[in-house]
Structure 1
Amino acid sequence: MHLKRLVVFLPLLLALPAAAAPPSVWGESAMVKVRPNLAPRVQPELHLTAARNEFVSFQVALHGGNTGLNGVRARMNALVGPTSIPAADVTLYRVAYLTTVRPSVPGTPVGPWPDGLVPDVDEIAGEGRRAFPFDVPARETRAIWVDVHVPVDAPPGQYRGTVEVTSSQGAPARVGVRLTVVDATLPSTPSLATAFLVWPPHVCNAHTGSPDCPVAKQEELLARYHRMALEHRVSLSSGFPRAPQPWSAFEAVWGPFLDGTVQTRLPGARLTSFQYVGEHTAEGLMEFTAGAQARGWLPRAYDFVGDEPPYGISFEALRQNAELARQVAPELRTLVTTNSRELARHGLEELMDVAAPVVNHLDGTAPPFLGSQRATYEDFLSRPGRELWMYQSCMSHGCAYGTNAPENQPGAGWPSYMVDRSAAKARAMEWVSFLEGATGELYYQTVGMLATAWTDQFRFNGNGDGTLFYPGTPAAIGGATDVPVASIRLKLIRMGVQDYEWLKAVSDAGDPAFANKVARQLIPSASKVPDEGEAFERARKKLISRYLELTGAPALPEEPATPGTPPSPETPAPPTGTPAPAPGTVPVPEEASLPEPPASTGPTGPLESAAEAQAGCSTGGSTGAAGGALLLMAWLFMERRRVPARVRAPRRR
Structure 2
Amino acid sequence: MKTIYILILLFTSTLFFGCTPKSKSITDSKWSLSILPPSVRLDPTSNEIIEQRFINSDKNAQNNLLKSNWIYDGEKVSIHSARGEYVSFQLILTNQQELPLSNIKIEMSNFEGPNGKLNIEPELFLEWSVKVITPSTGYPKTSLGKGWYPDALIPFKYIQMDSSKVQRWTYPLWIPDFNNRIENQKSLVVWIDQYVPLERINAKPGVYQSTINVTVDDEIKLIPIKLSVWDFEISNQNMLGASLQQEGFVSQMNDEDALGVYQLLKRNRISVMDPTYKPLLNLKNQQINYDWNLFDNQLKKYFTGEAFTSKYGYEYGPGYGEPIENFVLPFDVYGKYNTDGWPNIGKPKVERNPENIALYIDAVKQFRSHLKPIFNPLKTDLTIYLNGLDESYFKEAWSRMVYFGDLFHEHYPEAHFRIDGAYSDEAMEYVSNSIDYWGSHTINYNHEKVKEYQEKGIGDWLYGPMLYESEVNSWVGSSTFIDMPLVNDRAISWACWKYDAHSWLSWGIGAGWKRAWYDPETWKDAYKASSGSDINFPYKKLNGNGMLIYSGGIIPNVDEPCASIRLKMLRNGVQEYEYMRKISELNGNKEQANKIVDEIINEPFGKEGIGVIDVWDFDPEKWANARIQLGELIDNMSK
SS in 2 for 1:115: strand
Which amino acid in structure 1 is aligned with residue 192 of structure 2?
V
- In the TM superposition, residue 161 of structure 1 has moved relative to its aligned partner by 0.7
Which residue pairs with 1:41 in the alignment? 67
Q: Label 1:45 to 1:138 Cα distance change in 2 as closer, same or farther (>3 A).
A: farther
Deviations 1:46-93 (A, max 9, x none): 11111111101110012222335334331111111122123x442101
Report the Cα offset of residue 415 of structure 1.
10
2:244 and 2:270 in contact (8 A); partners too = yes
After superposition, the Cα gap between the structure-2 partners of 1:131 and 1:51, relative to the gap in structure 1 and judged at 3 Å, is: farther
Q: Which residue of 2 aligns with 1:606?
A: none
CA contact (8 A) 1:203 1:447 kept: no
- CA distance in 2 between counterparts of 1:381 and 1:401 reads 26
CA shift, 1:445, in A, is: 1.2
- Aligned residue number for residue 84 of structure 1: 117
**Counterpart for residue 258 of structure 1:** 303
Q: Is the 8 A contact 2:175 2:186 kept in 1?
A: no
| Structure 2: distance between partners of 1:110 and 1:461 | 13
CA offsets 1:522-559 (integer angstroms, 9 cap, x no match): 122225233221211100011111112222x2xxxxxx
Give 1:400's match in structure 2, choosing from 463, 466, 472.
472
Structure 1 residue matching 2:254: 3-state secondary structure: helix
1:193, CA displacement in angstroms? 1.8
Contact 2:154 2:562 in 1 (8 A): yes
AA paired with 1:512? K
Deviates more, 1:98-107 or 1:315-324: 315-324
Q: 1:348 aligns to what SS in structure 2? A: helix
2:422 and 2:185 map into 1 onto residues whose CA distance is 50
Change in Cα spacing, 1:90 to 1:179, as seen in structure 2 (3 Å) is: same
Q: Does the CA contact (< 8 Å) of 2:440 and 2:463 recur in 1?
A: yes
CA distance in 2, matches of 1:256, 1:347: 39
Give the TM-score normalised by the residue count of structure 2.
0.70
- Root mean square deviation of aligned Cα: 3.2
Structure 2 contact 466–488 (Cα < 8 Å) conserved? no
1:22 Cα offset (Å): 4.1
After TM superposition, the structure 1 = structure 2 runs for residues 180-579 of structure 1, keeping only pairs within 5 Å, are 180-200=228-248, 218-238=254-274, 241-242=277-278, 244=280, 246-247=291-292, 249-261=294-306, 262-263=308-309, 264=314, 265-266=316-317, 267-279=320-332, 280-281=342-343, 282=360, 283-298=362-377, 300-305=381-386, 306-310=389-393, 314-338=397-421, 341-342=424-425, 344-345=427-428, 347-362=430-445, 373-384=446-457, 386-393=458-465, 396=468, 400=472, 416-458=479-521, 459=523, 460-473=540-553, 475-478=554-557, 482-510=559-587, 511-526=589-604, 528-551=615-638, 553=639
Q: Is the 8 A contact 1:52 1:186 kept in 2?
A: yes
TM superposition shift of 1:394: 7.9
Where does residue 87 of structure 2 map in the other structure? 56
Letter in 1 for 2:151: D
Mean Cα deviation higher: 217-226 or 261-270? 261-270
Alignment-mate amino acid for residue 430 of structure 2: G
Q: CA offset at residue 227 of structure 1?
A: 0.7
- Give the Cα separation in 2 of the matches to 1:311 and 1:167: 65
How far off its partner does 1:100 sit? 1.0
Q: For 1:391 and 1:228, locate their aligned partners in 2 and report how far apart those are by CA, in whole Å.
A: 22
The amino acid that maps onto 1:56 is: V
Task: Name the structure 2 match of 1:75.
Answer: 107
| Alignment-derived partner of residue 214 in structure 2 | 165
Say whether the 8 Å CA contact 2:463–2:506 is kept in structure 1. yes
Secondary structure in structure 2 of the residue aligned to 1:182: strand
TM-score normalised to structure 1 length: 0.69
* Partners of 2:508 and 2:547 within 8 A in 1: yes
Task: Show the 5 A alignment for 1:9-20.
Answer: none
Shift of 1:324: 4.1
Distance in 2, matches of 1:223 and 1:51, equals: 28
Mapped to 2, the partners of 1:345 and 1:471 lie a distance apart of 39
Q: Counterpart amino acid of 1:542?
A: Q
- 1:389 corresponds to which letter in structure 2? W
Deviation at 1:513, TM superposition (A): 0.9
Could you tell me whether the CA contact under 8 Å between 2:244 and 2:509 is conserved in 1?
A: yes
C-alpha distance 258-243 of structure 1, shift in aligned 2 (>3 A): closer
Q: Which runs of 5+ in 2 are unaligned?
A: 1-27, 49-65, 69-73, 160-165, 177-182, 281-289, 333-341, 344-359, 524-539, 605-613
The C-alpha deviation readout for 1:334-374, integer Å capped at 9, x for no partner, is 01113574465551011110112123432xxxxxxxxxx32
Q: Provide the rounded CA distance (Å) in 2 between the counterparts of 1:131 and 1:148.
A: 24
Amino acid paired to 1:303: I
Q: What is the aligned counterpart of 2:38 among 30, 37, 44? A: 30
- Residue 23 of structure 1 aligns with an amino acid whose one-letter code is W
CA contact 2:275–2:329 (8 Å) conserved in 1: no
What do the CA deviations read for 1:304-349 (whole angstroms, capped 9, x no partner)? Answer: 1343223999445544543443454343210111357446555101
User: Partners in 2 of 1:297 and 1:257 — Cα distance?
Assistant: 11
Structure 1 unaligned regions, length at least 5: 1-19, 205-214, 363-372, 405-413, 554-653
Q: Highest relative contact order (Cα 8 Å, sep 6+), 1 or 2?
A: 1
Whole-angstrom CA distance in 2 between matches of 1:435 and 1:135: 44
1: CA distance, partners of 2:456 / 2:170: 53
Alpha-carbon distance in 2 for matches of 1:112, 1:397? 24
- 1:88-107 equivalences in 2 (<5 Å): 88-104=120-136, 105-107=139-141
Q: What one-letter code is carried by the residue in structure 2 that aligns with 1:359?
A: T
In the comparison of the two structures, how many residue pairs are matched? 492
Could you say if the C-alpha distance between residues 331 and 38 of structure 1 is closer, same or farther in structure 2, counting changes exceeding 3 Å?
Answer: same
**Any conservation in 1 of the 2:241–2:503 contact (CA below 8 Å)?**
yes
Query: Residue 141 of structure 1: which of 180, 187, 195 is its match?
Result: 187
Q: Distance in 1 between matches of 2:581 and 2:498?
A: 11
1:139–1:403: structure 2 CA closer, same or farther, 3 Å change rule?
same
Q: Structure 1 counterpart of 2:371, which letter?
A: A
Residues 186 and 315 of structure 1: CA distance in aligned 2, closer, same or farther (over 3 Å): same
Alignment-mate amino acid for residue 85 of structure 1: L
CA distance in 2, matches of 1:304, 1:63: 49
Query: Any idea what the Cα deviations from partners look like across 1:203-237, whole Å, max 9, x if unmatched?
Result: 69xxxxxxxxxx6x533211210011100001102
Distance across 1 between alignment mates of 2:189 and 2:123: 14
> Are the aligned partners of 1:446 and 1:469 in contact in 2 as well (CA < 8 Å)?
yes
Give the letter aligned to residue 219 of structure 2. Answer: A
Deviations 1:357-409 (A, max 9, x none): 123432xxxxxxxxxx323133322335x3122122386576737999xxxxx
Amino acid at match of 1:358: H
**Aligned equivalents of 2:502, 2:483: Cα separation in 1:** 28
1:61 counterpart SS class: strand
CA distance in 2, matches of 1:50, 1:314: 48
Equivalent AA in structure 2 for residue 148 of structure 1:
Q
In 1, are the aligned partners of 2:479 and 2:506 still within 8 Å (CA)?
no
CA displacement at 1:238 relative to structure 2: 1.4
Q: Residue 417 of structure 1 contacts residue 426 of structure 1 at CA under 8 Å; is this kept in 2?
A: yes
Letter in 2 for 1:41: K
